[in-house]
Amino acid sequence: MTVIPRTRRAALVSAVCTLVVSGLGLTGCGGEDPDEGTNGVGKLEPAKIQSTTKAAATAADTVRLSGAVVSNGKTYKLDMRLKEDGGTGSVTSGDSTFRLLKVGEHLFLKADADFWDHEDPGKKGGEDHGDSETAAADKLDGMYVKVPTGDPAYKRFSGFTDKDVLLNSLLTLHGTLSREGHHEQSGTRTIRITGDKGSGGTLDVSLEGTPYPLRLVRAGDAGTILLTDWGQDFTLEEPDEKSVVDYGKQLPTS
């Protein structure tokens, strides 16, 4: 029996491996390091991955959020671009789609007549004002409505345009954190972390460049959000006066 020296045996294995890989297009015999050439986040503990990606998200100037969020039994489909001083985009709830624009503390809402008729802006004290409601809705059709900060609608809608509020509420997984392997999101390599093996949500974090969060599946089937366009600037401007109705002064109340 011929005994092959260890060094020669290792060289022979390496040579065979190289032939197999090159001939069949495989990725390697010994297994490649999935974190090679990445930002290194995939090697961190899950809690550290979560805190690192939240810090990166907070530090970013801008982001785009698209997808669905379930809140209080309602599903909201979002497509929002956010920055530190406001945001703009669309929100769909049921059959109604409306646009939101927030510049500093000024919140504007734009929707069609059906949305405003459903909102019953002309109702006061539970009294039905019939035709006046339809007239009010028609007046608001396609106009930006400036919502005062003290109105309940301001609190209801402004959260969709607040970058820090949205990210802080979305990017927290619940339960015991764990790594769930390497994945890919829109062509970008990611590391996935989960809370309670997925029941507490899952989060895909970029392994390329800055470790931004790229995809979030919320706990309890509460929606899936894609986070894109990190750091891509856009302009926020208030609409011109001819396109704005002041919610506090112009809406009929009787």
In a domain, residue 151? The reply is yes
- pLDDT tens, position by position, 188-224: 999 999 999 999 999 999 999 999 999 999 998 899 9
Cα 245 to Cα 78, 148, 161: the distances in Å are 24, 11, 20
202-206 and 86-93 strand pairing: unpaired
Mean pLDDT, rounded, for 102-122: 79
The enclosing domain of 219 has a CATH number of 2.50.20.20
CA 42 – CA 206 distance, rounded (Å): 9
In a domain, residue 207? The reply is yes
In a domain, residue 178? The reply is yes
In a domain, residue 109? The reply is yes
- pLDDT tens, position by position, 59-70: 999 999 999 988
pLDDT, residue 84, reads: 92
- pLDDT tens, position by position, 80-91: 999 999 999 999
**Of 157 and 11, more confident:** 157
Q: Residue 135: what are its φ and ψ, rounded to 5°?
A: -65, -40
In a domain, residue 205? The reply is yes
In a domain, residue 20? The reply is no
pLDDT at 117 over 80: no
Structure tokens at 134: 């339809």
List the beta bridge partners of residue 64: 81, 228
Structure tokens at 102: 């927030």
In a domain, residue 34? The reply is no
In this prediction, residue 236 has a pLDDT band, given cuts at 50, 70 and 90, of: very high
Report the number of distinct structural domains present in the chain: 1
**Of 249 and 233, more confident:** 233
pLDDT, residue 19, reads: 41
Predicted TM-score of the model (pTM): 0.77
Lowest-confidence pick of 125-129, 163-167, 183-187:
125-129
In a domain, residue 149? The reply is yes
pLDDT at 126 over 80: no
SS3 110: strand
Q: What's the domain range around 109?
A: 41-229+242-250
**Of 17 and 238, more confident:** 238
pLDDT, residue 105, reads: 93
